Structure 1
Amino acid sequence: MIEGVEIIKKYIKNLGTGPGVYRMIDENGNVLYVGKAKNLTNRVKNYTNLKGLSHRIGKMVSLTRAMEFVTTHTEVEALLLEANLIKRYKPTYNILLRDDKSFPYILIDTSHKNPQVLKHRGAKKQKGHYFGPFASVGAVNASLNILQKAFTLRTCSDSIFNSRSRPCLLYQIKRCSAPCVGKISDDDYNAHVQEAHDFLSGKSDAIKKKFTSEMENASADMNYELAAVYRDRLKALAAVQSRQDATDGKLEEADVIAAYTQGGTTCIQVFFYRGGQNWGNQAYFPRHAKDQQIDEILPAFISQFYDNKHPPKKIFINSSIKQKALLEEALGIKAERKVHITMPQRGSNLMLVEMVERNAREALERKVAETSSQAKLLAGVAELFDLDAPPSRIEVYDNSHIQGSSALGAMIVAGPEGFDKKSYRKFNIKSENLAPGDDFGMMREVMERRFKRQLREDPDRNSETWPDLLLIDGGKGQLSAVMGVLEDLGVADIPTVAIAKGPDRNAGREDFYIPGKTPFKLPPNDPVLYFLQRLRDESHRFVIGSHRSKRSQKIHKSILDDLPGVGAARKKSLLLHFGSAKAVSGAAIADLEKVDGISKALATKIYDYFHP
């Protein structure tokens, strides 16, 4: 610790008194902590006062071997930069939002005279109106379903729209008004678009009144077919009422964020409300030290959460937080308008926050129960395979191919918190020396690529990405292939087990192979067996899904795609002239020359490509 303090003191001499961001770095170059400061000198000087440091911060100081600094114009700018750097470096000693992602939106694309309604995720580069965020793709699909039923807007792409000569099935089932073939005028269609825009903006009551009036007028005129259309549209909009919760449709644009802590673990629930409608919720379990409290965890979460998202006008929270005014100012800069962070004290907003907090508590209780169960299973795995401790990272490997074609290897990862899907990996089998269907050779290639890269990136084996257990789908042959690679690379000390399907591929009668030991089975009702089967089945699901995707891409790939000097326009000309890719491959040079855009030199290149 003394060494760490002395290193920090050296930096203080040259620091200014303005705002900025600092990074504390260990001997391997890993970022331990990212912090912001209104006065860099005063903030960093605090780390040299050993009596005032907690045990956790003292340990961080003892590991510090270097520091880096970025000065900023304002403390608000420092706060925004701090959130960005925390998400980039994922420092050990910061409160860290895990599994952050962008959320889907609904886009009414106005670049076409007959606007399209579609799902959107990512940068908002397309011209149109964006509505969201929605908590999940499922919530977007549910809303799109309502939009189709109520407003009959097109969902097809512009290219399909422009090439249609007759209505598609969606017109037949009254999900689209078919502007592509003139079944509705442009003015009437755009009126539907405006109604959908108003509905997503929270004006559903006004639209319902309009539809009710239209239905009654049609009925009075004995136009019962038109009345039925409005009846069905009203029925679709009725589904919205069930998703407004305690807001009574009055909450126009707000996120409700509530945190609940128990036993050093925290769950934060985020509910999205837009246009008076609940557009779903998401639970988060940020990483933090056990002694950190909600008033410290919540602002760190909020600053990281909105780092890549547009903040709403209002954010309701369930706890007072540190530096609320600073956070509001930072979010206001991102949103380019005022953002209010409020802890409601009474009324419907307080009831809403309490409801969200209750959801956070229940989600945390489920998480703790699942983690406890998972911990018991991992302890059982450690005992079964004679490991030193319950494994924190299990890697499961499987291969897939059809008679050797589209060969693919896959790795899934599991640990104390269940499946770690962001760590899953696919391996396209690249070796040209493998015989079709050589499972052992495929497994060797996967292992070589996985652990050669791991050794390159972390030769000292300090990172958490080294596995505590390898589980191989296969028998003695696959195990031998894997152990051969691990021995060649000098990492044969990683515990490795092969799990082979039982007779007639019956689940529950699997054989387990461990190097140097006799194969064995587990009792059919053993919980650890079920756990290992679940891991193996997840690897099957992932590799087969990936293989199907690869095979599908291969099916849609044309033999003309790799022709030298032939782009999309020339490829289209070739297909229009010859009728098929196969006919192009068999064409003579003289025939190829007759195609628009194909010179004699290019015709020779194409011919030589197919006749090497």
Structure 2
Amino acid sequence: MASNFNVKAFLASLTHAPGIYQMLDEHRKIIYVGKARDLKKRVSSYFSGKTQDIKTQALLKHVKDIDITVTHTENDALLLECNLIKKHKPHYNVLFRDDKSYPYIIITNEHPYPRIDFYRGARKKDGLYFGPFPHTTAVRETIHIIQKLFGIRTCSDNFFSGRTRACLHHQIGLCSGSCAGLIDKNEYMADVKHAILFLQGKNDEIIRELQNQMQQAASARSFELAARLRDQITRLREIQQKQYISSDHGNADVIGYAYTAGVACIQLLSIREGRVLGSRAYFPMVPANASLQEILSSFITQHYLVNLQDNQAIPKEIIFDVSLQDEAMIADTLSEQAKHKVMLLHKVRTERKKWLDMAMLSAQQSIATQLLNKVHTQERFQALQAVLHLKKLPTRIECFDISHTLGEETVASCVVFNSQGPVKNDYRRFNINGITPGDDPAAIYQAVQRRYQRKEESKEPRSKSDLSKSYPDIILIDGGVAQLNAAENALQPLLRDLSI
């Protein structure tokens, strides 16, 4: 602690109210954010003289001051903690990468022939929503299955109204051709109903209805319709055999985890209407010696409470297998935000135990793959160091490329890699203006200048050491000598103190 920071006087001044505390280093940079239902008790525990875990010992060595913010309620403290962690990314907090809003499937209802579509964002559009799904791939795969099963259109309303002949989707069996009048409206709406039942996990009900319709069509000697219904039943049964559908039609998120070799994996398994919508692995930035409880608590709060646009995205049950500190506070805050009761469960049986086992196994497999990729990436960085005769192993690479639309609209892309692999949150695109169309060197010059001018104008301390940490070890330029010279010319005024 700083010599001018009087710990005893500071602790004596603290209130017993809920709130958050921000620990600062010698540069007054926030290195840890924590919440408390009782600020005096929580902050005092750091200086009680009792043996602390290794992570807390390392943290306290760098703490030079503490800022306190009192909140009205414990729930307010939890929400403020989440937002401050997202904003400041403190070194000693567990950090999960920012995620976009949740992806959904929507079936519109403002058109005589409803369409099915991918949807992301707040649920303001009129229609039926299904989800949220763990990632966009699960959404697109599900939409493709529904197209194959029921022929529901995915085209825009404008495209639909301008058609007189069926498009390619009809020719390859993904659409019933409603735009060209190739299906009766009542039949189409029956298919829409079946698509809704499918998304609700009610496959058996669909099959019973289709079988009855097939028998009626055969009795009426409508053999073409009977054959189409028969094919739907066959495809649906094939899909049903591949899907895991529980007899418990509940909504839950199930969290599995694995933590080894300094790498943590959180596996989120999404269950809606008893049907597994998909699974996604998250790999947070974890400070050394962080506890499993801290990692899980950070995931739950950051995943559900940061950038919350849709309270229905929070399920009624969140299942994992360890107890958490402040578990009641987290459950209350989630319930308040979701507008329905949210239960955190970690003693589960029967179907929920099967879900949890699936999530835990998936986490083990995901972390094994991640560690293997990490080793391969490290080997590639070592090979690059040898080829370029670098004194030290590179830790960050930024790559620039230029693309054109018929030689007119010019866009520059910057992708970033570190020793863990792609850093997608740092990817950037630049619309290039004010140059002659097709002038790639000028485009490279502008993109590089704009990329690193922002770093130069940052309000962070700008010592030579800071500069070397802010810029990549290697910048790759797609092109020839002219593009390379343009990039160097753009960098020279910005990096006078560093070698290029």
**TM-score of the pair, normalised by structure 1:** 0.72
SS in 2 for 1:260: strand
Q: 2: CA distance between counterparts of 1:173 and 1:483? A: 51
SS in 1 for 2:457: helix
What is residue 334 of structure 2 aligned with on the other side?
331
1:380/1:2 CA distance change after superposition, 3 Å: same
Q: What is the letter of the counterpart of residue 446 of structure 2?
A: E
1:346/1:229 CA distance change after superposition, 3 Å: same
What is residue 278 of structure 1 aligned with on the other side?
276
Q: 1: CA distance between counterparts of 2:250 and 2:318? A: 12
Match of 2:494 among 481, 489, 493: 489
1:241/1:283 CA distance change after superposition, 3 Å: same
> Does the CA contact (< 8 Å) of 1:21 and 1:81 recur in 2?
yes
> Does the CA contact (< 8 Å) of 2:203 and 2:240 recur in 1?
no
What is residue 367 of structure 1 aligned with on the other side?
370
> Does the CA contact (< 8 Å) of 1:2 and 1:62 recur in 2?
no
Q: What is the letter of the counterpart of residue 454 of structure 2?
A: R
What is the number of residues matched between the two proteins? 491
What is residue 288 of structure 1 aligned with on the other side?
286
Residues 122-141 of structure 1 aligned to structure 2 (within 5 Å): 122-141=121-140
Is structure 2 residue 232 aligned with structure 1 residue 233?
yes
SS in 1 for 2:290: coil
Q: What is the letter of the counterpart of residue 367 of structure 1?
A: Q
SS in 1 for 2:493: helix
Q: 2: CA distance between counterparts of 1:406 and 1:367? A: 38
SS in 2 for 1:227: helix
Q: 2: CA distance between counterparts of 1:236 and 1:44? A: 60
Shift of 1:205: 0.8
Shift of 1:440: 3.8
> Does the CA contact (< 8 Å) of 2:96 and 2:302 recur in 1?
yes
What is residue 580 of structure 1 aligned with on the other side?
none
Shift of 1:185: 5.9
User: 339-348 vs 446-455, which deviates more?
Assistant: 339-348
What is residue 119 of structure 2 aligned with on the other side?
120
Shift of 1:293: 2.5
Bigger radius of gyration among the two? 1
What is residue 206 of structure 1 aligned with on the other side?
205
Match of 2:466 among 434, 458, 462: 462
Q: 1: CA distance between counterparts of 2:147 and 2:474? A: 49
Once the two structures are superposed, residues 127-146 of structure 1 have per-residue CA deviations (whole angstroms, 9 ceiling, x without a partner) of 22110122333322222223
User: 64-73 vs 34-43, which deviates more?
Assistant: 64-73
1:251/1:320 CA distance change after superposition, 3 Å: farther
What is residue 417 of structure 2 aligned with on the other side?
414
Shift of 1:455: 0.8
1:239/1:28 CA distance change after superposition, 3 Å: farther
Shift of 1:36: 0.7
Shift of 1:126: 0.7
For structure 1, the residue ranges without an aligned partner over 5 or more in a row are: 497-612
What is residue 514 of structure 1 aligned with on the other side?
none
Residues 13-412 of structure 1 aligned to structure 2 (within 5 Å): 14-26=13-25, 28=27, 30-49=29-48, 52-65=51-64, 67-165=66-164, 167-168=166-167, 170=169, 175-177=174-176, 189-245=188-244, 247-307=245-305, 308=308, 310-401=313-404, 405-412=408-415
1:190/1:70 CA distance change after superposition, 3 Å: farther
SS in 1 for 2:454: helix
Shift of 1:477: 4.5
Q: What do you get for the CA RMSD once the two structures are aligned?
A: 3.1
SS in 2 for 1:462: helix
What is residue 452 of structure 2 aligned with on the other side?
451
> Does the CA contact (< 8 Å) of 1:153 and 1:193 recur in 2?
yes
Q: 2: CA distance between counterparts of 1:155 and 1:106? A: 11
For structure 2, the residue ranges without an aligned partner over 5 or more in a row are: none
Q: 2: CA distance between counterparts of 1:479 and 1:401? A: 19
Stretches of 4+ aligned residues off by more than 6 angstroms:
none
1:385/1:26 CA distance change after superposition, 3 Å: same
Shift of 1:214: 1.5
**TM-score of the pair, normalised by structure 2:** 0.87
> Does the CA contact (< 8 Å) of 1:20 and 1:36 recur in 2?
yes
SS in 2 for 1:399: strand
Shift of 1:179: 5.2
Q: 2: CA distance between counterparts of 1:112 and 1:402? A: 34
> Does the CA contact (< 8 Å) of 1:403 and 1:437 recur in 2?
no
Q: 2: CA distance between counterparts of 1:89 and 1:377? A: 32
Q: What is the letter of the counterpart of residue 332 of structure 1?
A: S
> Does the CA contact (< 8 Å) of 1:263 and 1:290 recur in 2?
no
Shift of 1:290: 3.1
Q: 2: CA distance between counterparts of 1:47 and 1:345? A: 34
Q: What is the letter of the counterpart of residue 401 of structure 2?
A: D
Query: What percentage of residue pairs aligned between the two structures are identical?
Result: 35
